[in-house]
Amino acid sequence: MILVTGGCGFIGSNFILDWLATRAEPVVNVDVLTYAANPATLASVNDDSRYAFERADICDRDAMDVVIAKHKPRAIVHFAAESHVDRSIHGPMDFVRTNVMGTATLLEASRAYWKALPEAQATAFRFVHVSTDEVFGTLGANDPKFNELSQYQPNSPYSASKAGSDHVARAYFHTYGMPVMVTNCSNNYGPRQFPEKLIPLMIVNALAGKSLPIYGDGQQIRDWLYVGDHCSAIARVLEAGRPGELYLIGGDAEKANLDVVHTLCALLAKHAPGKDYTKQITYVTDRPGHDRRYAIDFSKLQSELGWRPTESFATGLEKTVRWYLDNSAWVADVQSGEYKTWVEKNYGARA
């Protein structure tokens, strides 16, 4: 089986659902269940004999040793992370703990397990560390896209903590020979994303008649990657990637935040004729250190492993909007008191 960390989060849950839908191999999900984790997302596979869940913290070495020894995975896919830039500005140490110390703890537990495997199993073992393009900093309007040789220049506590985790993961390959691979993706969107990120926040707020807060001038550019495409890329890296390598995963869809919001408003209006959601757009003070542009050159992944995204931004966004419209109960469930407090804390003071 494979072991997935953070499988109750956005990308992790989509990965598990896609994996079980297309493969016979079992998967164990290790998640500590923080605010952004939602076990109900995986309710459809709870009774599947190929799925197992372990509630455990990647920062707890004893717990990681127990889980790994119990399930004996042939590979580990590491999604678990604190991932929201705004939250990292308010509480950076949580990000250092989970993203740096948690990754190091998981790697060390995995190394102990890997070293004790018979030679053939040790050779076949893989550890995929899932990271972000934000570790490379920001691009100018005419700069070439990020690639595997781009310099690390993180600008937020979140991206700095992910950069640290990338370096630790790389070191475990170069120092110990452990078969680790690192992936860096662009901005994900799609079903089951916690509504603190741009696209689900705009959808949820628009439907609720609330303001659609845009940072600064809204011209920050992101390369948007549909989560299903990201999951297929990670599966491909796990299948055929070379240990010690870095692979960048992008959606080939650079869009300014304001353009994304206008597109969302137009899509939502199709389901509410006569409704002009753009009237709900408001501009708020930009966040500190806000990167201006991200873009991914995924040519290495395409040439070496034959992967490229299958969803355009238009088709992916249409699927995303449709999912949120059809799953209002899921949205209501994740919008806890803590979530409401957070939204007010982050956006209320910026209005």
- Asked if 9 and 79 count as a contact pair (C-beta separation under 8 A), the reply is yes
Map out the domains of the chain as residue ranges.
2-193+225-252+293-311
Task: Say what the pLDDT of residue 344 is.
Answer: 60
Task: Say what the pLDDT of residue 342 is.
Answer: 45
Q: What's the CATH architecture for 2-193+225-252+293-311? A: 3-Layer(aba) Sandwich (3.40)
Q: Which residues of the chain have pLDDT under 70?
A: 336-351
Identity at 4, one-letter amino acid code = V
Task: Say what the pLDDT of residue 200 is.
Answer: 95
Residues with catalytic function: 133-134, 158
3-state secondary structure of 156: coil
Identity at 232, one-letter amino acid code = S
Residue 280 structure tokens: 């709900």
The strand ranges marked E within 167-318 are: 180-185, 187-189, 212-215, 221-226, 246-249, 254-256, 281-284
Backbone φ, ψ for residue 243 (5° rounding): -55, 140
Task: Say what the pLDDT of residue 86 is.
Answer: 81
Backbone φ, ψ for residue 188 (5° rounding): -85, 150
Task: Say what the pLDDT of residue 164 is.
Answer: 98
Task: Say what the pLDDT of residue 40 is.
Answer: 86
Task: Say what the pLDDT of residue 151 is.
Answer: 98
Start-to-end CA distance of the chain, whole Å, equals 48
Match 């999900």 to its residue by tokens: 29
